[in-house]
Structure 1
Amino acid sequence: MPARERARRELRELCRFENGSPFRPEDWADAGVPIIRIQNLNGSKEFNFFAGDIERHVLINDGDLLFSWSGNRGTSFGPFQWRGHVGVLNQHIFKLHVTQGVDGNWLFQALRHLTPKIEMDAHGASGLVHIKKSELEKYLLLTPPLPEQRRIAEILDTLDRTIESTQRIIDKLQATRQGLLHDLLTRGLDEHGQLRDPESNPEQFKETELGRLPRSWMVDYLNQDVYFQEGPGLREWQFRETGLPFLNIRCLEDGFIDKSKAHCISIEEANSSYSHFFLDAGDFVMSSSGTLGRISEVRQPDLPLMLNTSVIRFRPRKASLNSRFLWWVLQSTLFFEQITRESQGSAQANFGPSHLDKVRVALPDLPEQQRIAASLDSFTQTYKAEQNRLAKLQALKRGLMDDLLTGRVRVPVTAEEAVAPPAAPAPVAQQDAHSTIPFDRAPLAPVVNFRAAPGASSVAQADWVAQARTLAARQQPAPYSPEALDRAVAQLAALSVEPEGILQVPDMLRQAGVRFVLLQHPKGSKTSGAAFWLDDACRAEPVVALSMRYPLVDVFWFNLFHELGHIRHGHAAVLGEVLEPGSYRGDDAAESEANAYAREALIPDAVWQPYLESGNHSSRGLRAFARQVGRHHATVAGRLGHDLRDFPRFNSRELRPSVSTEVFERLVLRLGGSV
């Protein structure tokens, strides 16, 4: 059939479904081959074993496609790719034998996209559902030619790896949060911002009612430093459809107030009887019954608002108590251990002012409170940034699956890919329960979201990044080290004065352990560059990819050093960046950090600022300054255009020339023809 023809094909044409064996408890053994059950598909490492004769059809190897045909919607029902040791397949799971001419990774992604529809049609209650083999085989998939299947799978797999890497970071941050909170509230931060060490410096600590604490801290009753108040206990007959809203536990959501879940009391009654329960901006409110410890901050837009029973408000009594420090104290194990101890014996889990009167708190001086609170706030911002990034990645993945797997958007296939022989399926990266992420307890740098410029095609961007990853994987650089990268950047900055200095980029970065890819951007991607890691978790195999979207000399060097800045600062994957000429300022911390790195690498601010203020910005003046600092005059012209907000003045071909076609062609040859 024609190279780009697509057809709707039943699943029975794309693969053969084979059920596992019904292993009974009497078949289980203490050792042998693990039996793969539904819970193991979701990451459980607890296995039963089989020591008997193994039938070949139930033998499962790493990378095999499976389909759980009986399970819970959204979790244990649907397609899986086995990532583990050899095992034998239990019943209720199909093994998929992929038909020749079908890419296994594409089929896996297509089945994931199809699964919500299968779940809707499946038998069973709202939770646990099942489907028959004969029914499953009849579902239709729009099937593109094999080369296009591979490209689709490559794009979606790239996103999967980024999503899984982000989820691992979130899991690590979540696991670290309580430990960090406990350390900061019992060891503190000295005047240099360092965590005190009771093992190395025991003389800096003392024993107190709350355990070992820094010697300079004091222990006080909570009620001496904190004002707290419980709500009045309004009755249902007082509720009104409109009026003044009052809190209940359901209103406390992830640090914020959800007023849509609040009831109301008449304004007249509130003003006459309950005005002393009116909340103020900056109050902290916490659930004190049922689900204990849900805490939110009252903000100005939440007002007017008042307390009710089962919710307690807190605020500092004294100027010597930092409000943000109190916020973290109220979420600490030291606080809740005391609350739990004081409220034991109650029929229902709850606490009130009488219990809080007995709680003690550990208080450093105000400057140290501020340091501790700032550190914890920064950590939380990082955690929330990762959560937001994950949500955006997942939304992008859903959109790409809809576009690519329904045929709404076609992906380009080169002539070489169209005739390439079938390749062994590349397994989709799955989370390894034993993998670790390098992490210390200092707040991590903010990460950058996968994003597109207005009008950019997310499919084209993802396609560009997938191609860049493939090309980078073929390279064999030296081991990466930040120190080697620093040396390479200094040498490349010096070479940037020469038109042919660009030719040294691949070799110098290769020696520093960085893979460099030059790849023409596909139509609609609006992509200038990318910085990412082939090994998302360990971050030891960095990649920098540039397009030729803006082939100006100064833009090439700035984009290169910008992407290297992301690598040097250890930022998470920065995919499909759009850097317009002169866009030296970022819209978040990581972008600003990468921009600052590029500026400093090309012309340090200590040298640049005096020249900028001199006003000697004529063609002759900027060329003289370029010779003085050993940089190409285009670098000076581009930076002047940006800093003075006057690009037209410095935008002539003489001042900002393009990289010659000849130099680009020679660079491509040095990269093995990677464009």
Structure 2
Amino acid sequence: MSEWQQRSLASLGNYENGFAFNELHWSEHGLPIIRIAQITGSQGIVDCFPGVLPESYRIDEGDLIFSWSGTLAVVRWSGGPAWLNQHLFKVVPAAGIDRSFLFHVLQASVAEMGKRTHGSTMKHIKRGELREFSVEIPGNECEQRKIAQVLDTLDTAIRETEALIDKLKAVKQGLLHNLLTRGIDPNGQLRPPQSETPQLYKESPLGWIPREWSYGSLGTWLMGKPKNGYSPQEAGEWTGVQMLGLGCLTKEGFFGAQLKLAPAGDRGLEKALLNDGDLLISRANTRDLVGVVGVYRDIGTPCTYPDLMMRLMPSEETSAEFLQLVLQSSKVRRQIQGSASGTSESMVKISSAIVTGLKVAIPKPDEQSVILCRSKALDAQLQSELQELEVLRAIKAGLMDDLLTGRVRVTPLLKSLQQTAAQTGA
């Protein structure tokens, strides 16, 4: 570690704040104005500026941008020439500091910075405080580049996996739309569209559906009314029973990740005890998330569902898994969101009557099984890629900790990786 040195973040580069644009500067022409929303990807380009400003406000491909107010983040800009808005720093590396290496150092420092941010509604890091954040870095710029090379390779793998996941999600949406509007014919193929084979379809309140399908209110395929859960006060210690949080139901289905401890001896919990395979639907949430569904899977301990969820009991003509697909479809989601009511968009509700009154189209059980098999095959591929993404992120986190502290030296690591690649190729 003798050739490594302790440096403040402030000394590693020049942090140049963006320009304070306002509505007088906005235009449909000129270079784009880049705000926090554009670097985080939450919004596309909104405004441009056609004028001329000092070069310090201009960003180009590969420039480092540090969001220091509102959302702490570090990105490498990849959107071409643009103007930088206030509350964003353009970070220009100091002499002897590799730009890609600096990107990874700043990215690793963001989490620590978050613990020391100021302001209750607008978190921010003062420029002067960057002098207080110290890191150990190699003084040799060549070693910096090699460290960045390893981490950049992992970043590329992560981006490619994320792109594949996004593609699979889009494919899944398209496939589910076709499966739930055209279905599978006796030969195991998607039925041709109604425009090509009108004799295979009939009209319904949901549009054209296959002639063999039935349509009506969801209650037709339920045994009894939906039942609300139970929400007692959370316990302060382990009692052997857990309770689902509302976040366990997502647009993708059930995830047992937001669990609470149930109180001991509360008899009200008995009616809300779950069985593996139970179908749940949220009855209150934001308009975007109200009515999301999931098939509960055993978490290893007794578990109950809360008052803000309802349990649905499918009839013998269908199944919880198939009804989950139906309730996730865009046509049914629009019905749910349109029927939800409340005084605040942050918490709208649906009733048991709304749920049982949803208009659905249901194929015969044999066709339901085939549709589920197609859906599960794509889900398995998607889950495999999601797991791969988690592995890559974990590897990167470990390597950042090792390489950016000098705990693991990069030259032996690169040699090891090259030998492994050669052996694999052989």
Q: Does 1:316 align with 2:310?
A: no
Determine the C-alpha separation between the residues in 1 that align with 2:148 and 2:4.
Answer: 16
Following TM superposition, by how much is the alpha carbon of 1:337 offset from its aligned partner in structure 2, in angstroms? Answer: 4.2
Deviations 1:361-403 (A, max 9, x none): 3222322211111111222222232222222211211111110
Determine the C-alpha separation between the residues in 2 that align with 1:408 and 1:118.
Answer: 22
Matches within 5 A, 1:11-160: 11=9, 13-43=11-41, 44-68=43-67, 70-72=68-70, 76-125=71-120, 128-132=123-127, 134-137=128-131, 139-144=133-138, 145-160=140-155
Deviations 1:418-457 (A, max 9, x none): xxxxxxxxxxxxxxxxxxxxxxxxxxxxxxxxxxxxxxxx
What's the counterpart of residue 327 of structure 2? Answer: 330
Deviations 1:580-614 (A, max 9, x none): xxxxxxxxxxxxxxxxxxxxxxxxxxxxxxxxxxx
Determine the C-alpha separation between the residues in 2 that align with 1:137 and 1:119.
Answer: 16
- The counterpart of 2:158, out of the listed 156, 163, 168, is 163
What's the counterpart of residue 542 of structure 1? Answer: none
Alpha-carbon spacing, 1:121–1:188, altered in 2? closer, same or farther (3 Å): same
Matches within 5 A, 1:250-399: 252=249, 254-257=253-256, 260-261=259-260, 263-264=262-263, 266=265, 269=267, 279-290=274-285, 292-299=290-297, 309-318=307-316, 320-339=317-336, 343=339, 349-399=348-398
Structure 2 residue identity aligned to 1:5: E
5+ residue gaps, structure 1, are 414-458, 465-518, 530-545, 547-555, 557-675
The 3-state SS of whatever aligns with 1:409 is: coil
Q: Is the contact between residue 28 and residue 49 of structure 1 (CA under 8 Å) also seen in structure 2?
A: yes
Q: Is the contact between residue 341 and residue 350 of structure 2 (CA under 8 Å) also seen in structure 1?
A: no
Alpha-carbon spacing, 1:63–1:276, altered in 2? closer, same or farther (3 Å): closer
What fraction of aligned residue pairs are identical, expressed as a percent? 33
Determine the C-alpha separation between the residues in 2 that align with 1:19 and 1:340.
Answer: 42
Alpha-carbon spacing, 1:15–1:403, altered in 2? closer, same or farther (3 Å): same
Following TM superposition, by how much is the alpha carbon of 1:164 offset from its aligned partner in structure 2, in angstroms? Answer: 1.4
Following TM superposition, by how much is the alpha carbon of 1:63 offset from its aligned partner in structure 2, in angstroms? Answer: 1.4
Following TM superposition, by how much is the alpha carbon of 1:17 offset from its aligned partner in structure 2, in angstroms? Answer: 3.1
Alpha-carbon spacing, 1:32–1:262, altered in 2? closer, same or farther (3 Å): same
Deviations 1:606-647 (A, max 9, x none): xxxxxxxxxxxxxxxxxxxxxxxxxxxxxxxxxxxxxxxxxx
Q: Does 1:188 align with 2:183?
A: yes
Determine the C-alpha separation between the residues in 1 that align with 2:227 and 2:394.
Answer: 40
Determine the C-alpha separation between the residues in 1 that align with 2:223 and 2:236.
Answer: 30
Structure 2 residue identity aligned to 1:213: I
Q: Is the contact between residue 287 and residue 293 of structure 1 (CA under 8 Å) also seen in structure 2?
A: yes
Q: Does 1:219 align with 2:215?
A: yes
Q: Is the contact between residue 215 and residue 359 of structure 2 (CA under 8 Å) also seen in structure 1?
A: yes
Following TM superposition, by how much is the alpha carbon of 1:186 offset from its aligned partner in structure 2, in angstroms? Answer: 1.0
Determine the C-alpha separation between the residues in 2 that align with 1:248 and 1:12.
Answer: 43
Determine the C-alpha separation between the residues in 2 that align with 1:89 and 1:245.
Answer: 49
Alpha-carbon spacing, 1:289–1:149, altered in 2? closer, same or farther (3 Å): closer
Structure 1 residue identity aligned to 2:149: E
The 3-state SS of whatever aligns with 2:179 is: helix
The structure whose RCO (Cα within 8 Å, separation 6+) is larger is 2
Following TM superposition, by how much is the alpha carbon of 1:252 offset from its aligned partner in structure 2, in angstroms? Answer: 4.5
Following TM superposition, by how much is the alpha carbon of 1:276 offset from its aligned partner in structure 2, in angstroms? Answer: 7.0
Alpha-carbon spacing, 1:128–1:313, altered in 2? closer, same or farther (3 Å): same
Determine the C-alpha separation between the residues in 2 that align with 1:251 and 1:78.
Answer: 28
Following TM superposition, by how much is the alpha carbon of 1:153 offset from its aligned partner in structure 2, in angstroms? Answer: 0.7
Determine the C-alpha separation between the residues in 2 that align with 1:279 and 1:149.
Answer: 54
Q: Is the contact between residue 8 and residue 131 of structure 2 (CA under 8 Å) also seen in structure 1?
A: yes
Q: Is the contact between residue 231 and residue 309 of structure 1 (CA under 8 Å) also seen in structure 2?
A: no
Following TM superposition, by how much is the alpha carbon of 1:194 offset from its aligned partner in structure 2, in angstroms? Answer: 2.6
Aligned-residue RMSD, C-alpha:
3.7
Alpha-carbon spacing, 1:233–1:300, altered in 2? closer, same or farther (3 Å): closer
The 3-state SS of whatever aligns with 1:27 is: coil
Aligned residues: 414
More strand by share: 2
The 3-state SS of whatever aligns with 1:148 is: helix
What's the counterpart of residue 520 of structure 1? Answer: 419
Determine the C-alpha separation between the residues in 1 that align with 2:220 and 2:350.
Answer: 18
Q: Does 1:201 align with 2:197?
A: yes
Q: Is the contact between residue 243 and residue 260 of structure 2 (CA under 8 Å) also seen in structure 1?
A: no
What's the counterpart of residue 407 of structure 1? Answer: 406
Q: Is the contact between residue 276 and residue 296 of structure 2 (CA under 8 Å) also seen in structure 1?
A: yes
Alpha-carbon spacing, 1:159–1:126, altered in 2? closer, same or farther (3 Å): farther
Determine the C-alpha separation between the residues in 1 that align with 2:304 and 2:92.
Answer: 62
What's the counterpart of residue 468 of structure 1? Answer: none
Q: TM-score, normalised by structure 2?
A: 0.81
Following TM superposition, by how much is the alpha carbon of 1:110 offset from its aligned partner in structure 2, in angstroms? Answer: 1.4
What's the counterpart of residue 173 of structure 1? Answer: 168
What's the counterpart of residue 504 of structure 1? Answer: none
Determine the C-alpha separation between the residues in 1 that align with 2:411 and 2:243.
Answer: 57
Following TM superposition, by how much is the alpha carbon of 1:61 offset from its aligned partner in structure 2, in angstroms? Answer: 2.0
Q: Is the contact between residue 281 and residue 303 of structure 1 (CA under 8 Å) also seen in structure 2?
A: no
Following TM superposition, by how much is the alpha carbon of 1:112 offset from its aligned partner in structure 2, in angstroms? Answer: 1.2
Alpha-carbon spacing, 1:313–1:37, altered in 2? closer, same or farther (3 Å): closer
Deviations 1:505-555 (A, max 9, x none): xxxxxxxxxxxxxx5339xxxx842xxxxxxxxxxxxxxxx1xxxxxxxxx
Determine the C-alpha separation between the residues in 2 that align with 1:59 and 1:276.
Answer: 62
Q: TM-score, normalised by structure 1?
A: 0.54
Deviations 1:65-123 (A, max 9, x none): 2333x313xxx434332212222333333333333433211111112112333343444
Determine the C-alpha separation between the residues in 2 that align with 1:297 and 1:18.
Answer: 51
- Larger Rg, first or second structure (1 or 2): 1
Alpha-carbon spacing, 1:17–1:377, altered in 2? closer, same or farther (3 Å): same
Alpha-carbon spacing, 1:231–1:297, altered in 2? closer, same or farther (3 Å): same
Following TM superposition, by how much is the alpha carbon of 1:161 offset from its aligned partner in structure 2, in angstroms? Answer: 0.9
Following TM superposition, by how much is the alpha carbon of 1:308 offset from its aligned partner in structure 2, in angstroms? Answer: 6.2
Following TM superposition, by how much is the alpha carbon of 1:175 offset from its aligned partner in structure 2, in angstroms? Answer: 4.1
The 3-state SS of whatever aligns with 2:90 is: strand
